[in-house]
Structure 1
Amino acid sequence: MFSKARILCPVLKQKVMSAEAAAALIPAGANVGMSGFTGAGYPKAVPNALAERIKEHNTQIDPNTGEKPFRINVWTGASTAPELDGKLAEVDGIEMRLPFQSDPICRDRINTGKMNYVDLHLSEVAPYAWSGFFGNMDVAVIEVVGIREDGSLIPSSSLGNNKVWIEQADKIILEVNYKQNARLEGMHDVYYGTALPPNRKPIMLTDPAQRIGEAYLRCDTDKVIAVVETNSPDRNSPFKPSDEVSKRIAEHILAFFEDEIKRGRLPAELLPLQSGVGNIPNAVLEALDSGPYKNLTSYTEVIQDGMLKMLKSGTLAMASATAFSLSPEGIEEFDKNIEFYRNKILLRPQDISNHPEIARRLGVIAMNGLIEADIYGNVNSTHIMGSRMMNGIGGSGDFARNGYLSIFMSPSTAKGGSISAIVPMVSHVDHTEHDVKIIVTEQGLADLRGLSPRQRALEIIDKCAHPDFKEQLRDYFERACASGRGMHTPHLLNEALSWHQRFEETGSMLA
């Protein structure tokens, strides 16, 4: 089917088989570690073949026998793609999912109680796996660019938890994807010095451009039970040009950076940037690229289109991440100019890209999205109306708690203005007020550093709330202050979540 030029290990050449044959080696109830992070570097063929096998099995179950459906537990780096999450969820093939997902079918099954979901800080997944908190990993399914003569692996377009899965799994299935650019070889930095307490040692990384590991993944060839050849692209979402709301948010952030530089609290080259995925973060990157900045650095999770543009223009000197998250145009640009990018991009395992110690040492500027924030600075980034999971916390907590600056961004309203992103009390807390330094909407930027709770409330209402909700928020705050229940963080407990209840009952948070 394909040239064997990418499978150079003689032992593993003998294990090449079809995706269907490989999928047949995964038993029901297995803990399966899949490669993949933000739609990059995930296995394409085996999950699809496994979904077909599960579908056939489950449709033949006689309900009178009490036989259980065929399901597996799926562990990844982060989100994957419809060919993996979507296909397996569609056939009711996932019992439990971790640590992050963005698939609509998965989301529906999680929120209807048909799938268990463990939402984790991405930096914690590897230590949890090493400690055995998830149980034993039965099978790892890992996409790679190629297999070297000694059995070591050339990583694909994401590293994520691949190193951990390969180490922990009893059995390994490799997908060699010929669609991935062979020139990815050498762009990875796989660190093998991590350990659990009490044996941990400092990770000696002091600059985003620094290499501390190896270019390849070590792999015990005895554990490899199948090699599958594929030729399929990553899921590439089209790049969306910044809308006016995103541009205004970006303008507020750039004005803040300029002021911080003038005050001597940020260097002219800023500090290493961490940016979540999405329209608003890309708008910030676009604004930085059009500004006076040169030789910036990034220590983040994903390389987005905006970062490629910044690397090309010289605004960004280098970017360290664990995966790509590019549009079709971004992929084309990267492949066309991969030799230019080779010395400017490093991909690391996510236990290093998201490591709290390194984020604190480098002084990362963390920029992430939010669903809602309350008037005291607590942030909900995962749950809709307190109960319904959106995607997950991802890496935002790794950087927000440990970065030099934690910036959370959002439009001030949602659902056509019927929902306020600024509320009296968040319906779910992912990032406490102690970890949130800056909140930004298109209305303005609230700098919460050094402010007491009541001062934060006034700053957030004044700077970030939409005009339609400002007076409503002020009224709540003033009545909470006058209630006599306590003046440190004033709340009216019988009203704190009434905005969410009002929305669910009437379709609007407006009183």
Structure 2
Amino acid sequence: MSSAPVSTARIANPEFQARLMDAEAAASLIKPGAVVGMSGFTGAGYPKAVPLALARQMDEAREAGNPYAIKVWTGASTGPELDGALARAKGIDFRLPYNSDPLVREQINSGAVQYFDMHLSQVAPAAWQGFLGPLDVALVEVSAILPDGSVVPSSSVGNNKTWLDRADKIILEVNSWQHEALHGMHDIYYGTALPPHRKPIPLVTPSDRIGQATFRVDPSKVVGVVATDIPDRNAPFKAPDASALAIASHLLDFFQNEVRVGRLPASLLPVQSGVGNIANAVLLGLMDAPFEPMTAYTEVLQDGMLELLAAGKLSMASCTAFSLSPEAAERLNGEMALYRDRIILRPQEISNHPELVRRLGCLAMNGMIEADIYGNVNSTHMMGSRIQNGIGGSGDFARNAYISIFMAPSTAKGGAISTIVPQVSHVDHIDQDVQVIVTDQGLADLRGLSPKQRAEKVIANCVHPTFRDQLADYYARALRDSYGKHSPSLLKEALSWHQRFIETGSMLAK
């Protein structure tokens, strides 16, 4: 896919116009072994033309016997023109901090790609602290370059401010597909600093604007500007199935009870929602709930949140990126001006900042792969060793939320896997950070409960009937035979369910 011919009208500064080039020329500026900070967060605002050109050059080099790869830093996941294209060219040597591309995942799990999975709020501070090493190139998609040289972000902010500040060289993709009305939607905060010079971040409501609408870019570092007109590519959301609808129903009942007993205000507290079909089903379920006006302080704006904004149920959404189906993205682009004052896009070090999450009292709703009977949650690894995507921002919110909720269907793989197990095969969220577990079977409120009380509630409310007796039997024997009685565990059996699945294709005992 070529970046030309496309309009260059959005490159309004002469100094940047002088660096205009095609994608092939820009890609040639990225050398083997380079560390490249790329824009992109959940398939929004990622560079498209230059990575595709770079992948073609990598293919040609490999065919000539000179393969090369680069190290890729991003905000989170990207799209097929970036992660997918570079992976097909075997061009990624190292990746951080989050990935959802299936081919990159395969290469990570085969050992071909080194992967650093980390909390999203920590990426920018880690880059500034220096232990990630130098950043050679920032490759960032933007929606416009203004006459004064300031740069308008596109459909995600992510870590772009940090990449632009830290990189030795900068390549900008100016994408005219991104709506012009994005200008004014962003809030780029330049007040962060390393210790001992940190000051409080002056944000007290999701609607606060504490920064500026554009990026500052040092023109002396800009080595290339590429004009593009390529849409973001996000997968469509599936219609909620019975399991997702049941999870949404349990959560809405829980929220209504929290309001009724006075633990939540009638409009709730700012909601945070992870990415995926279940999270989207929960958001859509809020449409008919008696909570308004709601606000959101979250990572991404999904279809359900856009529906809530359109209906007036949600008064403000603060996030770092869009994560919309193609249909919802088209709708938003058609009505962008209507939403410009009701959506704020921030750097992810602000959208996911633990202090702000706690200050605002977010209601954190995130997905999981599995949970154990004591409330420990695995959100990253299949059977303990195969990474799925990464921890993303779930840890940023879980430990600091007003209420920390994890949700998933009670079974997976057609019923062969129980989501609730004796012991999780990998721990991302310790039981002290998990307050509520929800499956299609029911909801377990674990707040204030001892480990044994937690186990009894999880088994009674969240386990699929196919596995309930098997898990209850394990727990009864653990109570009797465990080395200690505080968190009873049978060490020889705690991970046997996972091993049974690996060996037989099912966690069910025969």
Name the TM-score, length of structure 2 as normaliser: 0.98
How many aligned residue pairs are there? 505
The CA deviation string for residues 179-217 of structure 1, in whole angstroms up to 9 with x for no partner, is: 111111000000000011111111010000000000000
Aligned match for 1:20, one of 24, 34, 54: 24
Matches within 5 A, 1:298-313: 298-313=296-311
Answer whether contact 2:409 2:419 (CA < 8 A) is retained: yes
SS of the residue corresponding to residue 109 of structure 1 reads: helix
Structure-2 separation of matches of 1:102 and 1:2: 30
Read off the aligned partner of 1:54 and give its amino acid letter.
M
Answer whether contact 2:378 2:426 (CA < 8 A) is retained: yes
Read off the aligned partner of 1:6 and give its amino acid letter.
R
Q: Which moved more, 1:89-98 or 1:237-246?
A: 237-246
Q: Give the C-alpha shift of residue 332 in structure 1.
A: 1.8
SS of the residue corresponding to residue 329 of structure 1 reads: helix
Structure-1 separation of matches of 2:197 and 2:124: 15
Structure-2 separation of matches of 1:172 and 1:400: 35
The CA deviation string for residues 104-135 of structure 1, in whole angstroms up to 9 with x for no partner, is: 00000000000000000000000100011111
Q: Which moved more, 1:332-341 or 1:76-85?
A: 332-341
Aligned counterpart, 1:64: none
The CA deviation string for residues 472-491 of structure 1, in whole angstroms up to 9 with x for no partner, is: 11111111110151000110
Unaligned runs of 5+ in 2: none
Q: Give the C-alpha shift of residue 4 in structure 1.
A: 2.8
Structure-2 separation of matches of 1:264 and 1:246: 27
Aligned counterpart, 2:487: 489
Aligned match for 1:31, one of 21, 28, 35: 35
Aligned match for 1:384, one of 369, 382, 385: 382
Could you tell me the percent identity over the aligned residues? 63
Structure-2 separation of matches of 1:368 and 1:390: 15
SS of the residue corresponding to residue 392 of structure 1 reads: coil
Given the alignment of the two structures, is residue 297 of structure 1 paired with residue 301 of structure 2, yes or no? no
Q: Give the C-alpha shift of residue 447 in structure 1.
A: 0.3
Matches within 5 A, 1:345-494: 345-494=343-492
Matches within 5 A, 1:4-153: 4-61=8-65, 69-153=67-151
Structure-1 separation of matches of 2:333 and 2:24: 30
Read off the aligned partner of 1:475 and give its amino acid letter.
D
Read off the aligned partner of 1:170 and give its amino acid letter.
D
Structure-2 separation of matches of 1:350 and 1:125: 9
Q: Give the C-alpha shift of residue 429 in structure 1.
A: 0.3
SS of the residue corresponding to residue 494 of structure 2 reads: coil
Structure-2 separation of matches of 1:292 and 1:125: 37
Read off the aligned partner of 2:79 and give its amino acid letter.
A
Answer whether contact 2:416 2:505 (CA < 8 A) is retained: yes
What's the C-alpha RMSD, in Å, of the aligned pairs?
0.8
Structure-1 separation of matches of 2:373 and 2:63: 50
Aligned match for 2:162, one of 145, 164, 187: 164
Given the alignment of the two structures, is residue 332 of structure 1 paired with residue 330 of structure 2, yes or no? yes
Answer whether contact 2:482 2:490 (CA < 8 A) is retained: no
Structure-1 separation of matches of 2:117 and 2:82: 18
Answer whether contact 2:87 2:104 (CA < 8 A) is retained: yes
Read off the aligned partner of 1:501 and give its amino acid letter.
Q
Q: Give the C-alpha shift of residue 55 in structure 1.
A: 1.1
SS of the residue corresponding to residue 197 of structure 2 reads: coil
Unaligned runs of 5+ in 1: 62-66
SS of the residue corresponding to residue 5 of structure 1 reads: coil
Read off the aligned partner of 1:385 and give its amino acid letter.
M
Structure-2 separation of matches of 1:335 and 1:82: 21
Structure-2 separation of matches of 1:120 and 1:308: 28
SS of the residue corresponding to residue 399 of structure 2 reads: helix
The CA deviation string for residues 282-335 of structure 1, in whole angstroms up to 9 with x for no partner, is: 111111112222210000011111111101111100100000011121012112
Structure-2 separation of matches of 1:396 and 1:419: 23
Answer whether contact 2:154 2:182 (CA < 8 A) is retained: yes
Read off the aligned partner of 1:490 and give its amino acid letter.
P
Structure-2 separation of matches of 1:484 and 1:161: 47
Answer whether contact 2:79 2:234 (CA < 8 A) is retained: no
Structure-1 separation of matches of 2:6 and 2:334: 23
Q: Give the C-alpha shift of residue 150 in structure 1.
A: 2.0
Q: Give the C-alpha shift of residue 497 in structure 1.
A: 0.3
The CA deviation string for residues 57-115 of structure 1, in whole angstroms up to 9 with x for no partner, is: 11221xxxxx7x30100000000011100110111100000000000000000000000
Read off the aligned partner of 2:316 and give its amino acid letter.
M
Answer whether contact 2:34 2:136 (CA < 8 A) is retained: yes
